[in-house]
Amino acid sequence: MGQLILKEINNQLSRMKDIYPFIKDENNQIDDSVITILGKKFHDENAISDYLAYILNSDLNGIGSEPLSKFLELIDNPIHLTDSDHVNIQREYTLPNNRRIDFLITINEETIIAIEHKVFSGEHGDQTWDYEKQINQLFSDKAVDVTYVFLSPNGIEASNPTFIAVSYQQLISALKEVKVDFIGDIRKAVLFKEIIFHLEGYFLNNKSIALSDKASLYLDHYEMIQDLSSNFEKYYNRVFQYIESVINNYFIHNIDEGEWVFDFKKDRSYHQIYKPHWKTKDINIHFEVVLSRDSFIKGELSFLLDIEGKSRKVFKEKHDLHLKEKVLTILNNNEILYRKGKRADTFASKTYHFLNRENLKDESLIEIGLKQMIGDFEGFIGPIEQELKCFYDN
């Protein structure tokens, strides 16, 4: 691979690294919002409607008339609102026949915006037709312009085509255009952003098949990612074989303790080293190297002494403390943990960090680290032999 191509790949990866932290993970669980904190269901129609009424009300929201202006633009009824305009936003407005529409917004007593809001419930019979009839009769001699809106998460159409279908996505897009002054009034600004967070988090980040930002990033760089993954796999295999070779050679040539068995497989995370008589039908004692692709990426490698087998509880009750006493100096001097591993069968463990990127540039440093690791545990071999002899004799 040419140097120019490598340079271009490096530039693209650097750009991806800059972008990636700002892309929201679609799989993350949604945090609580103000609505859910107050004990409401995330889809509570009245709670969402009350919050939206607050957001659109310039007398309360601390933002001004821009949220309502953006909404009016969304429904193709742009009105330049000023402080002198009289805006009245009513919730659950009762009509002459005692039916109630979710919002009735009156602007200067000339413009009416009637909004019916449905979350997961459907329209009831002739609901929207009846609303139009009642409102027209009620304001026929007052209002010049009446606009009907049918608001829902997915922007479904009302049975009455007079109602303009508006989705949460459209609503959020309009609200995101509002200029919010966090410095001027951070409390009001946070409350304004909260409705966007709630609707996006609970309704727009579900199991949609719409192309996400992360998926798009992956598709844009698929060939490069596959090439890098393939090269990493080859490199990991070489490093794995090298580590296995160094460990094998060290035990065979430097530890004069008879025959050793090495059970290493690159497609699993644990790799065992033991003497044949350490592993029987009753007891299974072995050193274990914990190395996987994930741990390698983190630069970590762990070395353990595990005591397993169907008689491990008997061994632990009768021999664990004796073995600990015999290796206590080794544990302390080499900062090896006793019985603090994630697994109950781990007698001793230590995690090493010599597989870092700088050391990987010089394999002799990896060899030194591996030999030091084995040296830390080498003193366990004699005491293990002694306790095993007592175990078998009893």
Residue-wise pLDDT tens digits, 82-124: 777 899 999 999 999 999 999 999 998 889 999 999 988 888 8
**Residue that finishes a domain, picked among 184, 210, 236:** 210
One domain, residues 192 and 268: no
Q: How far apart are CA 33 and CA 191, in angstroms?
A: 10
Domain count, the chain: 2
Q: Are 61 and 52 in contact (CB under 8 A)?
A: no
- What average pLDDT does range 133-145 have in this prediction? 84
One domain, residues 45 and 194: yes
Residue 302: alpha-carbon gap to chain centroid = 27
Segment 313-342, tens digit of pLDDT: 999 999 999 999 999 999 999 999 999 867
- pLDDT at position 250: 95
**Residue that finishes a domain, picked among 210, 238, 270:** 210
Q: How far apart are CA 60 and CA 67, in angstroms?
A: 12
Q: Are 355 and 367 in contact (CB under 8 A)?
A: no
One domain, residues 50 and 164: yes
- pLDDT at position 213: 61
- Three-state secondary-structure class, residue 86: coil
Nearest to 171 by CA among 68, 258, 271: 68
pLDDT of 22 over the 50 cut: no
- pLDDT at position 212: 60
Higher pLDDT, 145 or 294: 294
One domain, residues 181 and 251: no
The single-letter DSSP state of residue 303 is E
pLDDT > 90: what percent of the chain?
63
- pLDDT at position 148: 96
pLDDT of 185 over the 90 cut: no
- pLDDT at position 201: 84
Query: What number of other Cβ atoms are within 10 A of residue 121's Cβ?
Result: 10
One domain, residues 125 and 93: yes
- The pTM of the full predicted model, rounded to 2 decimals, is 0.56
**Average model confidence (pLDDT) across the chain:** 88
- Helices 222-254 and 213-220, axial angle in degrees (round to 10): 80
One domain, residues 87 and 185: yes
One domain, residues 241 and 197: no
- What average pLDDT does range 356-364 have in this prediction? 93
Q: Where residue 202 falls among pLDDT bands split at 50, 70, 90?
A: confident
Q: Residue 344 is part of which domain span? A: 226-393
One domain, residues 176 and 279: no
Within-domain flag for 139: yes
- pLDDT at position 5: 65
Nearest to 58 by CA among 5, 107, 126, 92: 107
One domain, residues 177 and 237: no
Within-domain flag for 15: no
Compute CA distances 105 → 100, 135, 157, 162, 216, whole Å.
Answer: 14, 12, 21, 17, 41
- What average pLDDT does range 183-188 have in this prediction? 78
One domain, residues 241 and 385: yes
Within-domain flag for 316: yes
- What average pLDDT does range 256-262 have in this prediction? 85
- pLDDT at position 18: 57
361's tokens: 């540039």
Q: Are 185 and 61 in contact (CB under 8 A)?
A: no
Q: Are 100 and 114 in contact (CB under 8 A)?
A: no
pLDDT of 211 over the 70 cut: no
Lowest mean pLDDT among 18-22, 38-42, 244-248: 18-22
- What average pLDDT does range 36-55 have in this prediction? 91
Q: Where residue 271 falls among pLDDT bands split at 50, 70, 90?
A: very high
Nearest to 325 by CA among 383, 377, 394, 392: 383
One domain, residues 86 and 180: yes
Q: Which residue do the tokens 């409705």 mark?
A: 195
Within-domain flag for 299: yes
Segment 10-21, tens digit of pLDDT: 777 766 665 555
**Residue that finishes a domain, picked among 147, 175, 210:** 210
Lowest mean pLDDT among 27-36, 74-83, 101-110, 230-239: 27-36
Length of the chain: 394
Within-domain flag for 133: yes
Hey, what long-range contacts does 10-17 have (CB within 8 A, 24 or more apart)? 12/221, 12/224, 16/217, 16/221
One domain, residues 281 and 346: yes
pLDDT of 60 over the 50 cut: yes
To the nearest 5 percent, what fractions of the chain are helix, strand and coil? 50, 20, 35
Lowest mean pLDDT among 48-62, 187-201, 237-251: 187-201
Within-domain flag for 2: no
Within-domain flag for 97: yes
Within-domain flag for 148: yes
